Amino acid sequence: MRPQIEILTRALRRRCPACGDRRIFRSWLHHRDSCPGCEIRLDRGEHDFFIGAYTINLIVAELLVVVGGVVVLWLRWPDVPWDGLMYGLAVLMVLAPIAL
């Protein structure tokens, strides 16, 4: 397996990028400062380190909602199911940031 794919699969499985150890998270949303298995530093010590990731997540999630709404409008015009469209987009607005 190529190193990039291996690192990506470890990230998707919530494991250490260097050794694959499972214990890098204290809870579902909080990771440790370093890996207990290989001692690689996971926290750079910068309080705003993840702002770029948050911003990209927000932009991609909003684009999914906008593009999804435009596609449904384009495909179903002039008989647009407005209630279904609004409920579907609301569900997408909640689930897209979580999935990303």
Are residue 3 and residue 15 in the same domain, yes or no? yes
Using CA atoms, how far apart are residues 2 and 57, in angstroms rounded to an integer? 26
Judged against a pLDDT cut of 80, whether residue 73 lies above it is answered with yes
The string of pLDDT tens digits covering residues 76-95 is 898 888 888 889 889 988 88
How many structural domains does the chain have?
Answer: 2
Are residue 96 and residue 52 in the same domain, yes or no? yes
Are residue 54 and residue 15 in the same domain, yes or no? no
Are residue 97 and residue 64 in the same domain, yes or no? yes
Are residue 39 and residue 51 in the same domain, yes or no? no
Are residue 32 and residue 54 in the same domain, yes or no? no
**8 A C-beta contact, residue 36 and residue 14:** no
**8 A C-beta contact, residue 65 and residue 97:** no
Using CA atoms, how far apart are residues 72 and 82, in angstroms rounded to an integer? 10
Q: Tell me, what DSSP letter sits at residue 41?
A: B
Q: Which residue has the higher pLDDT, 42 or 19?
A: 19
Structural domain for 11, as ranges: 1-43
